[in-house]
Structure 1
Amino acid sequence: MTKLKVYNQRKKLKYLFKIMKGMLRTMLCQFTFRNYRSYRDEAELSMQATSMKEFERSLIACPDGQSFLPVAAVYGPNAGGKSNLLEALDYVRSAVARPVRMLSARDGGLDEECPLMPRCSAFEFDDVSVSEPTEFELYYRAGNHEYRYALSVHADEIVYEGLWRRKLGASRSAMLFEREGVEIKLGPTLRKLATAASFNPSLPYLSFLCINFDAPVVKEAASWFLNGVFLNYNCSFLERALEQILDEADSPEITRFLSAVDVRIDGFRVEKASEGRNRRVFVRHNVGGKHYELRLPEESAGTQKLLGLAAFLLIAFNRGATVVIDELDAKLHPKLLRYVILLFKDPEVNKSGAQLIFSSQDVSTMRNDVFRRDEIWFAARGEGEASQLWSLADIHEANGNLVSRNAAFDKQYLSGRYGADPYLTRIEEWD
């Protein structure tokens, strides 16, 4: 990665960290998509809790009686589709959020050369899929409403977009807008607010509304996209960006978080940027009654990751947000991974209904004392090299019964009983 790209990404992450602090509570209900990267057919990730009885106390309860999952963990073989699932979710989030951040907050120092829409890649292993649009559909909640947002993209052009909302407890939803190409149809609520004329067809209409109209309905509808965050800890970029996003005011809370996982620091201080020099963070240590400071880059990769992770998690817990993390287990001890997961499942900590969606290769936490069965998901390649997605809650044993809540999930997974671990057979064939 070039220095220019790293610098621009640091500024974007800093601005993302800033706007997360001011958003209202949001929650993902369901995500459906098709024809994206390794996914040819429709795949669905549901955050709505099933009728299963385990960990009922950890569920996020809503005023209309619906309950949602605080956590979804995605497992599977390398190149099976775990990251592509999370990137699909991040694509639709970023499609709406990126233009808002670029065009509404120029003081954030965002890269104006960055395209308004992220690049969209269709399934490429058959000729039919390449010629068809990539489709996304989200159900999410913000404030007292549930929203349905649909987006279809082909060759990086938006061919369809639509937004509906339903008041919690109501049976019918109302259309806010529908778009086909450049043609916009507005529902009654937005018809009072805006006209469909003079918008840039290269960006989502929801982004256009958010940029141009300071109205509660628009702010609420866009809040999930602006509130959510995608982190990929399989790369070192986040550690390099930390010095630009850490806020010294958060030092006491972050220090308490790290202390709880036995990472011993006495806080940190931020040295503001000066001419010719970036911001610098110094981590304080108390050793043998003496005080020492280390530059943040001199700390271990694990400590740096926990510092950055804590900063985002504290905001998520305070405001309620969907946090999506690829390779959450990278550079984390299994006990720390378990600790982070259980924070989201603790209603005394997660009072605002934050959600964690992550991929992992560490099966040591795939246990019945950590997860509900509907919180465990698998992604793997199937026929025609197309990825498929399914939940442990949907798997039946040979006798026709669902997998028991008391089963050894990790051992059964590694034995191949859940259908997402093809390596054991192949390794045996090498002998």
Structure 2
Amino acid sequence: MLRAMICQFTFRNYRSYRDEAELSMQATPMREFERSLIECPDGQSFLPVAAVYGPNAGGKSNLLEALDYVRSAVARPVWLLSARVDAPEGERPSMARCSAFEFDDVSAAAPTEFELYYRAGEHEYRYILSVHADEIVSEGLWRRKLGASRTATLFEREGAEVVLGPTLRKLATAATFNPSLPYLSFLCINFDAPVVKEAASWFLGGVFLNYNSSYLERALEQMLDEADSPEVTRFLRAVDVRIDGFRVEKAPEGRGQRVFVRHDVDGKGYELRLSEESAGTQKLMGLAAFLLAALERGGTVVVDELDAKLHPKLLRYVILLFKDPEVNKHGAQLIFSSQDVSTMRSDVFRRDEIWFAARGEGEASQLWSLADIHEANGNLVSKNAAFDKQYLSGRYGADPYLTRIEEWD
């Protein structure tokens, strides 16, 4: 399994974001939690965790959905069309509509632009994708070997015209492809070559979970695999959620599957349907499978509202798993949004792992890191500061507020 990780994600003109926004997973020179960093052979260090805070409707979810838009744009056609995957009958892949910033006429008519730096195997890749509505305007992929300075072009695309670099020309790649889909997806579906597998590995191995979606909670029961019962049970018991395993059986008339959770009480075994467990237990069971898979193999897990239905101590436990190099041996990364500031502490996060999203001028969202904030005296925020209290006092911006009660009519 190739180790794949995100280095930097930049985008503009996506939903509430009009101007360029950048989420960097490269560690700054700050000397804190250095042992938790993901170290690469070329001496570069990357963050295992990034947490995004801010008021409701500030842009937290849109940031994570922008990242998932790029990931799923490449991965979804591969899952549906690859000969190695059974695609649902009659389902044809297409680009999901990309929503631009709608609060000015210029942005609404312009394409949305994404740029992603990621590492896989022995290379660092740069992937760009420009989309207008559901049409691909341009696309490109470059890579360089870790430790080297020279960057090689794999392909560049404008509309339906593709120019291949020397490496891909050796594959005798067919000139015809479906221009409504990413060219990287086309390569992955049609060519079983190491360069293509490596280039696509981050997209295919990443996971996006949105706990604002009721659909996800209903789907969790269909995702659980009985073979994972020992590991999932061990994970839940480590956070004092008392289950003793689970089993899976097919639902009548082929309607998916049903999960039964076992509880051993006073020497006797009892079972409850997963749907009868608490919302927190249901979420943990579904989440555990994805987290444990990432920690075992590497990869990026993106979770919107990770704190929803989780006790703050459980949230802290999950975060620290990714920051423990004895547990996270394969460079897994966790990127999430949260409203729970109880974990926004200097004994949990580095300053460059804390991010804020909020709306600014013209109702456009902005994104910034705690590592970039300066105090009134010009110094950076101290690594020993009470991050949670300073955030709630408004010193970092992005602080939630309520309209004055007398303005409510």
CA distance in 1, matches of 2:115, 2:85: 32
The one-character-per-residue Cα deviations of 1:87-126 (angstroms, maximum 9, x if unpaired) are 0000000110011111115854436446421210000100
**1:264-294, CA deviations, whole angstroms, 9 ceiling, x for partnerless residues?**
0110111135544432111100011110011
Please name the residue that 2:327 is paired with.
Answer: 349
2:139 counterpart of 1:161: yes
Aligned residue in 2 for 1:421: 399
Write the deviation string for residues 129-149 of structure 1: whole angstroms up to 9, x where unpaired: 112110000000001110000
Alignment counterpart, residue 102 of structure 2, candidates 118, 124, 130: 124
Deviation, 1:333, is 0.6
Taking the TM superposition and a 5 Å limit, the aligned residue runs for 1:241-390 are 241-273=219-251, 275-390=253-368
Match of 1:76 in 2: 54
Equivalent position to 2:125, from 140, 144, 147: 147
Superposition pairs of residues 5-154 of structure 1, within 5 angstroms: 23-104=1-82, 107-110=85-88, 112-113=90-91, 115-154=93-132
Name the CA shift for 1:44/1:92 in 2 (closer, same or farther; >3 Å): same
Aligned-residue offset at 1:195: 3.1
Q: Using a 3 Å threshold, how does the CA distance of structure 1 residues 422 and 309 change in structure 2: closer, same or farther?
A: closer
Q: 1:222 aligns with which of 193, 196, 200?
A: 200
**CA distance in structure 2 between the partners assigned to 1:96 and 1:406 by the alignment:** 41
Aligned equivalents of 1:257, 1:105: Cα separation in 2: 35
* Contact 1:98–1:117 (CA under 8 A) maintained in structure 2: no
Gap change, CA 1:24 and 1:285, over 3 Å in 2: same
Tell me the distance in 2 between the aligned counterparts of 1:147 and 1:276. Answer: 42
CA deviations over 1:72-92 (Å, ceiling 9, x no partner):
000001000000000000000
Post-superposition CA distance 1:328-347 (Å, at most 9, x none): 00110111011100110011
Aligned-pair CA distance for 1:422: 4.8
| Correspondence list, 1:151-230, <5 A | 151-195=129-173, 197-230=175-208
State percent identity of aligned pairs. 87
- Unmatched 5+ residue regions in structure 2? none
User: Which 10-residue stretch deviates more, 268-277 or 119-128?
Assistant: 268-277
Cα distance in 2 between the residues matched to 1:422 and 1:336: 24
Ranges in structure 1 where 5+ consecutive residues have no aligned partner:
1-22
Classify 1:161/1:274 alpha carbon distance in 2 versus 1 (closer, same or farther; 3 Å): same
| Stretch moving more, 228-237 or 131-140 | 228-237
Q: TM-score, normalized by length of structure 1?
A: 0.92
> What is the letter of the counterpart of residue 170 of structure 2?
K
The change in CA–CA distance for 1:333 and 1:427 in structure 2 (over 3 A counts) is farther
52-61 or 103-112, larger mean C-alpha shift: 103-112
| Distance in 1 (alpha carbons) for counterparts of 2:405 and 2:212 | 29
Q: TM-score, normalised by structure 2?
A: 0.97
Match of 1:401 among 379, 392, 399: 379
User: Which residue of structure 2 lines up, in the alignment, with residue 231 of structure 1?
Assistant: 209
The CA RMSD measured in Å over matched residues stands at: 1.5
Structure 1 295/387 Cα, relative in aligned 2: closer, same or farther at 3 Å? same
SS in 1 for 2:328: coil
SS of residue paired to 1:423: coil
How many residues end up aligned between the 2 structures?
408
